[in-house]
Amino acid sequence: MAGAGGRKVNPRRTIARVGALPTRRRLNIYAIAIGVWVTGVLWLIYHYFVRIIDNFGFENSHPLEQWWLIAHAIFSFAAVWMFGVLWPNHIKKGWKMKARRPTGGGLFGVILWLTLTGLALYYIGSDAWRSWTSILHWTVGLAGIVVFIWHLVTRTSHDDKEHPEAEATG
């Protein structure tokens, strides 16, 4: 099939709904989102509620607490990488076509906030500032799952538009 400017257009692409994600990518996104959320929650549980008593009777943090944070940082890097992967075909095209704009825009804001506050946690020197940044990071992170699910389940009237050359790569 000939597209604009006489270019050949793969007919499979012309039926792709804007922003539609192929199954494998969708599953990768779920795995990363669940991983980043669950490791954050596990760190919170271990940090605030789990203690071990050492041989001298002193309370110490559980060794797994540190590992949850390391796992969280690994999933976070994967989340930022996935965000970059989704940028051209899913986020930018979806925004232009007005598909799921309110929830997509909300999710974009949440991810941007978590990335910036997560980055700040590495470098803030002051204890007071760090602990506020931490609270502002994980409260938004906990609530972020709602925005994510909301984005998955809410459809808008613009969703069913077909993008002339939308790639089924999301």
Binding site for ligand HEM (CB under 6 A): 36-37, 40-41, 43-44, 69, 72-73, 76, 79-80, 111, 114-115, 118, 121-122, 134, 137-138, 141-142, 144
CA distance to 21, 63, 130, 134, per residue, from 127 (Å): 42, 22, 5, 10
| Nearest CB to ligand HEM, comparing residues 94 and 144 | 144
| Nearest CB to ligand HEM, comparing residues 28 and 134 | 134
CB of residue 129 to ligand HEM, shortest distance in Å: 12
| Token pair belonging to 94 | 């979806």
Contact 80, 33 (CB under 8 A): no
CB of residue 68 to ligand HEM, shortest distance in Å: 9
| Nearest CB to ligand HEM, comparing residues 16 and 138 | 138
CB of residue 141 to ligand HEM, shortest distance in Å: 2
CB of residue 73 to ligand HEM, shortest distance in Å: 4
Cα 144 to Cα 167: distance, rounded to the nearest angstrom: 28
Name the β-bridge partners of 52. Answer: 60
| Nearest CB to ligand HEM, comparing residues 52 and 116 | 116
| Nearest CB to ligand HEM, comparing residues 44 and 168 | 44
If we measure between CA atoms, which residue out of 159, 144, 6, 9 comes closest to residue 79? 144
CB of residue 59 to ligand HEM, shortest distance in Å: 19
Compute how many other C-beta atoms are within 10 angstroms of the C-beta atom of residue 28.
15
Cα 115 to Cα 26: distance, rounded to the nearest angstrom: 21
